[in-house]
C-alpha cells in the first residue's frame, strides 16, 4: 500500500510541500480533496460529524481516524478516553504528533483486546465495509468490540442521486451488484493508489445488514442524502 492519504497528511503537518489530494470513483470524475480539510476543527465539521461527536461517550474507538481531528476534539474538549485507529501508519504518526494519547496503526479486523462504549466511523464510515459480500464480517467485528450497552455511530450517503433518471423518474442503475459498491482511487503528487472497494449504503440496506448481525439501529439525523445511524446490541 502506497499510503498516499497518509503521505499527504504527513506532508501537510510537517510543511513539506503538501498538495491537495485527488480522488475518483468508478462512477465519478476526478475531484479535489484539500488536505487541510482533514485537519479541520469542530466548527469546520458538518452537521453529522458534530452530532456524532456530541453523542460520543465513555471509552471511544475512532475507526479510520485519518489526521485525528475527531479524536482530538473528543480527547481535548470532551475529556474522553479515545483510541484513534487507522490502517495508515503515517496518519497515525501524525495523530500522535498532534497530541492524541492513544493512536494505533492497524486494520480494524485484526484489532482486539479491548472493548468500547462508543465506536465512531465517520466520513462515509460504511466505506470500510467494502461490499455487501463481506459486510457481515465487519459488523460481527464491530459487535465484538462494543460493550454491552455501547453504541456504534456511523454515517453514509445514499448515492442513488448520482445515477441518471428517465422521464418517468426511473433510475438507471447497474444490473450487477449493489449500486453503492464503488471502486475508489486516491491520487497524490502524480502517484495513484490501486483501486480499493468502497461502500456507500442507503439506510434500509444498512438496517437489514445490522439487524442480521445482532444490532438494533436507528437513524439519528438526516442531512440531504447523507445520514448518521446509531447501532446498539440487540
CATH number at 96 reads 3.40.50.150
Domain, as residue range, for 90 = 4-233
Q: CA-CA distance, 38 to 67, in Å (whole number)?
A: 6
Grid cell locating 194:
490501486
CB-based burial, 111-129: b 16+ in 10 Å, e otherwise: eeeeebbbbbbbbbbbbbb
Predicted pLDDT at 171: 56
Predicted pLDDT at 177: 78
Q: Which residues of the chain have pLDDT under 70?
A: 164-175
Predicted pLDDT at 162: 81
Residue pointed to by grid coordinates 467494502: 130
> Given phi > 0 = left and psi -120 to 50 = alpha, else beta, which region is 227?
beta
pLDDT, one tens digit per residue, over 154-194 is 999 999 888 766 666 565 666 577 999 999 999 999 999 99
Q: CA-CA distance, 90 to 67, in Å (whole number)?
A: 9
Predicted pLDDT at 166: 60
Report how many domains make up the chain: 1
CB-based burial, 85-97: b 16+ in 10 Å, e otherwise: bbbbebbbbbbee
Strand 116-121 and strand 59-63: pairing?
parallel
Amino acid at each position: 500500500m502506497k499510503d498516499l492519504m497518509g503521505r499527504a497528511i504527513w506532508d501537510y503537518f510537517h510543511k513539506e510541500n503538501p498538495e491537495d489530494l485527488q480522488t475518483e470513483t468508478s462512477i465519478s470524475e476526478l475531484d479535489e480533496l484539500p488536505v487541510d480539510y482533514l485537519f479541520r476543527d469542530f466548527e469546520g465539521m458538518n452537521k453529522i460529524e458534530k452530532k456524532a461527536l456530541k453523542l460520543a461517550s465513555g471509552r471511544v474507538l475512532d475507526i479510520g481516524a485519518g489526521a485525528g481531528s475527531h479524536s482530538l476534539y473528543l480527547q481535548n474538549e470532551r475529556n474522553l478516553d479515545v483510541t484513534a485507529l487507522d490502517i495508515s501508519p503515517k496518519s497515525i504518526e501524525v495523530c500522535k504528533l498532534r497530541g492524541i494519547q492513544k493512536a494505533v496503526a492497524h486494520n480494524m479486523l485484526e484489532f482486539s483486546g479491548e472493548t468500547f462504549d462508543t465506536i465512531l466511523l465517520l466520513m462515509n464510515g460504511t466505506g470500510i465495509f467494502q461490499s455487501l459480500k463481506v459486510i457481515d464480517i465487519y459488523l460481527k467485528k464491530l459487535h465484538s468490540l462494543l460493550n454491552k450497552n455501547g453504541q456504534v455511530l456511523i454515517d453514509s450517503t445514499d448515492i442513488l442521486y448520482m445515477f441518471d433518471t428517465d422521464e418517468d423518474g426511473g433510475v438507471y442503475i447497474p444490473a450487477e451488484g449493489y449500486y453503492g459498491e464503488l471502486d475508489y482511487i486516491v491520487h497524490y503528487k502524480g502517484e495513484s493508489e490501486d483501486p480499493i472497494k468502497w461502500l456507500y449504503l442507503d439506510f434500509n440496506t444498512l438496517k437489514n445488514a445490522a439487524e442480521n448481525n445482532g444490532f438494533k439501529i436507528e437513524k439519528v439525523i438526516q442531512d440531504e442524502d447523507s445520514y448518521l445511524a446509531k447501532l446498539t446490541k440487540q
